[in-house]
Amino acid sequence: MAVARDLLGRVLVSDAGGERVAGRIVEVEAYRSSGDPASHAFRGRTPRNAVMFGPPGHAYVYFTYGMHHCVNLVCEPEGRAAAVLIRALEPLEGLDALRRRRSRDDMRSLLRGPGCVAQGLALSREHDGADLARGPLRVLPGGGRRRGERVRRGPRIGIRHGLEWAWRFWFADDEYVSGPRRSSQAERAGRVPR
DSSP calls for the chain = -HHHHHHTT-EEEE-GGGS-EEEEEEEEEEEESTT-TTSTTTT---TTTGGGGS-SSBEEEEEETTTEEEEEEE-S-TTS-EEEEEEEEEEEE-HHHHHHHHT---HHHHTBSHHHHHHHTT--GGGTT-BTTTSSEEEES---PPTTPPEEEE--SS-SS-TTS--EEEETT-TT--S--S--HHHHHT----
Mean pLDDT (the chain, rounded): 87
Confidence of residue 181 (pLDDT cuts 50, 70, 90): low
Q: Does pLDDT of 138 surpass 90?
A: yes
Confidence of residue 194 (pLDDT cuts 50, 70, 90): very low
Q: Does pLDDT of 187 surpass 50?
A: no
Q: Does pLDDT of 142 surpass 70?
A: no
| Between residues 160 and 145, the one the model is more confident about | 160
Q: Does pLDDT of 190 surpass 70?
A: no
Tell me the domains of the chain and their CATH numbers: 2-189 (3.10.300.10)
Residue 77: predicted pLDDT:
87
Q: What is the tens place of the pLDDT at every residue in 94-110?
A: 999 999 999 999 999 99
Residue 111: predicted pLDDT:
98
Q: How far apart are CA 87 and CA 36, in angstroms?
A: 18
**Predicted TM-score of the model (pTM):** 0.89
Give strand pairing partners of 69: 63
Q: Does pLDDT of 193 surpass 70?
A: no
| Between residues 153 and 190, the one the model is more confident about | 153
Q: What is the tens place of the pLDDT at every residue in 52-86?
A: 988 999 999 999 877 899 999 999 888 889 999 99
